[in-house]
Every structure is written in C-alpha cells, then in structure tokens.
Amino acid sequence: MLTVRAPATSANLGSGFDVFGVALGTPADVVRVERAPETRITVTGAGSQYIPEDPAQNTVGAVADALDAPAHIKIDKGIRPASGLGSSAASAAAAAVALNALYDRGLSRAELVPVAAEGEALVSGEAHADNVAPSLLGGFTVVTDDGVTQLDASIPVVACLPEMSVSTRDAREVVPDSAALEDVVDTVGNAATLTVGMTRDDPDLVGRGMEDAIVTPERTALIDGYDRVRDAALEAGATGVTVSGAGPGILAACHRPDQGAIAAAMIDAFDALGIESRAYQTRIGEGATLYRD
C-alpha cells in the first residue's frame, strides 16, 4: 500500500484566470492505494457524502484508467468539495502520484499533470490543470498550452471558507465572453506584478497583482458577503484579496504577523451575515508527498 498527501490549491489568483495556481500548506487530501483486479473507491472525510464512489464518476477513477492502474483507492477528504480550494484536483493529484509509483509507470510529476487533469474534466467539463499542477508540483504554477512553469514560493495567506457552495460549472457560466481592452491591459499588468512578487516572495507585490476587473467581479456575485469579507481582510492588513478558484473560498495574501487578525476579521464578517466559516492560516507550500507504508 502507498499513501500520498496532496495539498489544497488556489487557482486564478485574480489576474491569472485559468493560468495561475498555488499549493497551500493546509488543508489536504490523503489517498491510499493498493493493487486490485479492478478499481474500487471508498471516500471518507469532509463532504464525503457528496462524492460518488463509482470509478466512472470519480476523479481518481479517471486517473486510474489513464494510467491503466486498477487499485483499491481510499480517499480521506481534508478538503471539502465545492470549496474553491481544489478539492477534486487534490484527490486526482494524489491518485496520480500514488498509482504511478504503485505500478512503476515512471512518469515525472510534470508528465502526471495532464493525467490528473483528465480527472478534473469530470467536475468542470474540461481538463483544466490550474489546480492539479500546483497540487502535484507545489509552489506557484503557470499553466499554458505549452506546458507548466513552476516556481517555489512561500507567501503567507489566509484561505477563508464559508458554509456555502459554488459549483465549478456554475462559476464558469458567468465568465464573460469578451472584455474591454483597458481591462485586459490592467489585468496583464497585474498578472505580471503578481509573478514578480512570487519570484521575490513579496506579499505586497502579490497582493497588488491579484486585482482583476474581468472575471472576478462576475464570480463575487455568487458569494454572499464577499465585498464585506474582502473589506474586513484588507482593513486587518491583507495585501490583496480575491476569490479562490471558482469560490466560495476567499484567499488573502498577507505578511505572517497579520494572519491571525485577518483570519478573525474574515470569520467575523461572515458571522455578521449569519454565515458560518473557517479560516486556514497557511502559506504557499509543497506539492504532493508520497509515503511508502
């Protein structure tokens, strides 16, 4: 039996829609695999009651098929589905690493990105890699048609998760088909600023670079209380705030000493609206980790 821990992720980061992603130190999924004549899946943990165990409907089933690696796969969910924190991507990434090792397929982490992305297609309808890439590789990732560029980074963040759900499919439906040239220019500049910030481990530049006037405003409408929570986080010291992935998770970049105040401010802002939430005080961290039992 092999065990893999794969981290939660935050995709888009505001200005990098369908391109940027980061691995988070916490939370994470844990996947255990052992060889079997045919694939069987069991799921426990956060939101497990909403996750199908039929391999044909589960992200890890698609990964097992892609690697021709049947196994008994046990998923312990630390990342709630429909959270905006890459829940399905973490399971797919963990399964890809585990099954690749279990069957000695010899694929590199980069080569596993499109394999894990096939699992994501079951959730979003398309094989996007902006979550699976950082979950596999860690740090900050840039996904393009030409491949994945990865950079180690260690920016402190707070990821606040309210007790509501936003499906990836719904969030994609509100993405505009076109944008004003002025907004595109601003977003490109912000994306460049964020990237420079990652290379310098500079929370101020990363926060400034999260601004986006194209996709984020449409998605914030799906999250009750977003503006109030964003304002509270900024007042508490956040350098930038945006929707995490498809939402409803909200990501705040910050300096380490401000994390506690920012987490409390975000929770309090949701609480004032009668919405329960929790906040992870974490940082951009490592990718999936393999353990041999």
* Domain ranges (residues) in the chain: 2-151, 156-283
pLDDT of residue 177: 83
| 179 or 155, higher pLDDT | 155
Residue 90 among known ligand-binding residues: yes
Average of pLDDT values for 170-196?
90
pTM for the whole structure: 0.94
pLDDT of residue 166: 75
What homologous superfamily does CATH list for 156-283? GHMP kinase, C-terminal domain (3.30.70.890)
Active site residues: 120, 168
Residue 84 among known ligand-binding residues: yes
pLDDT of residue 292: 82
pLDDT over threshold 90, residue 230: yes
Residue 80 among known ligand-binding residues: yes
pLDDT over threshold 90, residue 246: no
Q: What is the pLDDT of residues 247-273, one digit of tens each?
A: 999 999 999 999 999 999 999 999 999
Residue 86 among known ligand-binding residues: yes
Q: What is the pLDDT of residues 202-223, one digit of tens each?
A: 999 999 999 999 999 988 988 9
pLDDT of residue 173: 77
For residue 69, give the nearest of 116, 31, 37 by alpha carbon: 37
Q: Which two tokens stand for residue 147?
A: 């491949």
| Mean model confidence pLDDT for the chain | 94
pLDDT of residue 170: 74
pLDDT over threshold 70, residue 149: yes
pLDDT over threshold 70, residue 159: yes
Residues 176, 218 contacting (CB under 8 angstroms): yes
Is 2-151 a domain of CATH 3.30.230.10?
yes
Residue 82 among known ligand-binding residues: yes
Domains 2-151 and 156-283 alike in fold: no
Average of pLDDT values for 93-108?
97
Q: What does the alpha-carbon distance between residue 229 and residue 86 come to, in Å, rounded to a whole number? A: 21
Residue 85 among known ligand-binding residues: yes
Residue 102 among known ligand-binding residues: no
